[in-house]
Structure 1
Amino acid sequence: MVNCIQDGNGITVSVTDEGQGMDELTISKLFTVSSNFGSSTQHGAGIALSMCKDFIEKLDERIWAKNAEPNGAIFFYAIRSKG
């Protein structure tokens, strides 16, 4: 599911999946490139998320992830209003 919230500070976009979720250690390493990331079906995810992080941070904005309850994960990025 994709969701977007606009408030006085800007826009926050979230993408929710219904997978198995991740522990805190995995979440802390999500946005770095590593050959040891995830299962055999998740190869390359670290590269894509690392590229997203680099792009968002170059805009001086924020990207993060957290576990969803009871399953899955939620990925967010926030872009502040300019002006």
Structure 2
Amino acid sequence: MYADKNMVLTILRNLISNAIKFTPKGGTVEIGVETRRGVSLHEIYVKDSGVGISKEMQSKIFDIGENTSTKGTENEDGTGLGLILCKEFIERHNGNIWVESDEGKGSEFIFTLPVI
């Protein structure tokens, strides 16, 4: 994989800090990488057992101009810009990002980067 190290670190930092922020004490955060050889992609995921995201909010969290900032489980503030930045950096690398989530059951953020 060829990628800008600082951008990838920023992506991971944002996704991991969000997972921690929205997962209550005693919950889990899992990080992993899978290589999809048939399509030459690395699939990186950050999965948590946190509060989850409503279907309505899932359609907005990557969009500029949408106010999606939410308080964390310890009442932490956020700007709502971290996921927008992640999407921008991933798309600059010809990748994609999406979320799979159910309210009250946690979230999994998955992004792909091409294998070069």
TM-score band, normalised by shorter chain: 0.7 to 0.9
Higher strand fraction (1 or 2): 1
Q: Write the distance in 2 (CA, Å) between the matches of 1:73 and 1:17.
A: 6
Aligned length: 81
Structure 1 residues without counterparts, runs of 5 or longer: none
Task: Quote the sequence identity (%).
Answer: 25
CA RMSD of aligned residues (A): 2.2
Q: Does 2:59 match 1:28?
A: yes
Q: Write the distance in 1 (CA, Å) between the matches of 2:46 and 2:65.
A: 22
> Equivalences for 1:4-19 in 2 at 5 Å?
4-8=33-37, 9-19=40-50
Structure 2 residues without counterparts, runs of 5 or longer: 1-29
| TM-score (ref. length: structure 2) | 0.60
> 1:72 corresponds to which residue?
106
Q: Write the distance in 2 (CA, Å) between the matches of 1:20 and 1:70.
A: 5
**8 A Cα contact 2:94 2:114, kept in partner:** no
